[in-house]
Amino acid sequence: MATIEKAEHKELPQQLIPDPGPDVILGKGHTYDSVTARIAGISFLPFKNSPKKWLVGAFIAFCFVNLLMLAMGYLFMRGIGIWGVNIPIGWGFAIINFVWWIGIGHAGTLISAILFLLKQDWRTSINRFSEAMTLFAVACAGMFPILHLGRPWLAYWLFPYPNSMWLWPQPRSPLEWDVFAVSTYGTVSLVFWYVGLIPDLASMRDTAPHLWQRKIYGFLSLGWRNSAIHWHRYQKAYLLLAGLSTPLVLSVHTIVSFDFAISILPGWHTTIFPPYFVAGAIYSGFAMVLTLIIPLRSWYNMRDLITLRHIDAAAKFMLGTGLIVAYGYSMEAFFSWYSGDKYESFMYWNRMTGPYGFTYALLILCNIALPQMLWSRRVRHNILLVWILSLVVNTGMWLERFVIVVTSLHRDFLPSSWGIYIPTKWDWATFTGTLGFFMFLIFLFVRALPTISIFEVREVVHHEMHGQHNQPVAEEA
């Protein structure tokens, strides 16, 4: 029979823990029990002892959730005419924000699945958090196409279900492909995330200070006993799910890019969109990971678990994908000139100098110019500067979606149909509301579930003990 953990529950350390160094994945002095106590202690911390910054952040996020509910309620009552969409700009904030949120959800699967298959140890302390971020971002993304339908209560018509009126979806529409791609991505990501949680939920079941916590975590851990057969089945299932998730990273945003690429509109009709969108998605996803984990490691004094090594590696990944995005921008400019198409050339010139030219300038500044600072090791090890750059990249990637959608639509082939898109207060309310919804889910996740994978950090402890002391390591209790 498997032994049960007896790791003593301890309060979070009050003294400031220094960064262990840029080449260290885990701070020194950790044991199996100390890892469990540190990570599980965040969830077991009494509510009254929560960091004040967490309380303030959760309250602000909850206020924005209420703003989202207000905006959605008014939308259901009045229709999408409250938004700034018009002819010819039928796609406004709804599709801009949909593509942006889907992009943010890409880093989670990349960190968890692809880096797991490549055996990259630096993913260990950030994979669980990025997986949760993926699920919450997909939930936010899914709202916008449904709200944009005009009759959101009929969203189920998008699925090919048998019905008496024979209203079947159009299978050649990329909007229909989105439904299957995003729903598949969300489902596999949810299963992948939950399967990875099961051993840690069992650890929290065995160390929880209260009976009601032990019952909840025991129910969620599905009877995990830490036995050899459980670990054998777990490893096979996790590897299989990682293999299934890997092609989804490439396929989901590729299909999202088809919403644009298969049209004949100048600025959209280009074959570079699929790889360019995938790189941009990973770019913004890693930026959001850095935006969230840097405050987390400070508020909960976890500098020995989320070290400079993690931040440096994520910053390098962000720099690399940013260079791919910059190549995509340059190819767009080259194609508009080399094609000899007057409509394509006008589109790009209008994108740079037209009514929305300032958004293109900010896009280049945020996505290409400023992130080049990450070439410097000194910048990558400046935590505050990396956090600011991650915010800059998130802003720039949102501007990229704005530029792609609006500047291609507002001046199409016929000057008589040209128009200007101005987002209304309800556009902004819906967008900021989803930001609040996303952050509120993150705050709840931090308090309710292990933010860092306990058993994977224990594996790091095992490797360090085995490598440094060259002694046989005792079984994980």
The CATH number given to whatever domain includes residue 462 is: 1.20.1630.10
The number of folded domains in the chain is: 1
> Is the residue at 22 inside a domain?
no
Is 0.85 surpassed by the pTM of this model? yes
> Is the residue at 401 inside a domain?
yes
> Is the residue at 110 inside a domain?
yes
Q: What is the mean pLDDT of residues 95-105?
A: 91
> Is the residue at 7 inside a domain?
no
> Is the residue at 4 inside a domain?
no
Q: 395 falls in which pLDDT band (50, 70, 90)?
A: very high
Cβ-based burial of 303 (10 A; exposed 0-12, middle 13-18, buried ≥19): middle
Backbone dihedral region for residue 267 (phi beyond 0: left; psi -120 to 50: alpha; all else: beta): left
> Is the residue at 373 inside a domain?
yes
Whether the per-residue pLDDT at 19 is higher than 70: the answer is no
Q: List, for residues 290-348, the tens digit of each pLDDT value.
A: 999 898 888 888 888 888 888 998 899 999 999 999 999 999 889 888 888 888 889 99
> Is the residue at 14 inside a domain?
no
Task: Of 40, 52, 53, give the one whose Cα is nearest residue 11.
Answer: 40
> Which residues span the domain enclosing 389?
32-469
Q: Which residue has the tokens 């990349």?
A: 110
CA–CA separation, 207 and 224 (whole Å): 14
> Is the residue at 441 inside a domain?
yes
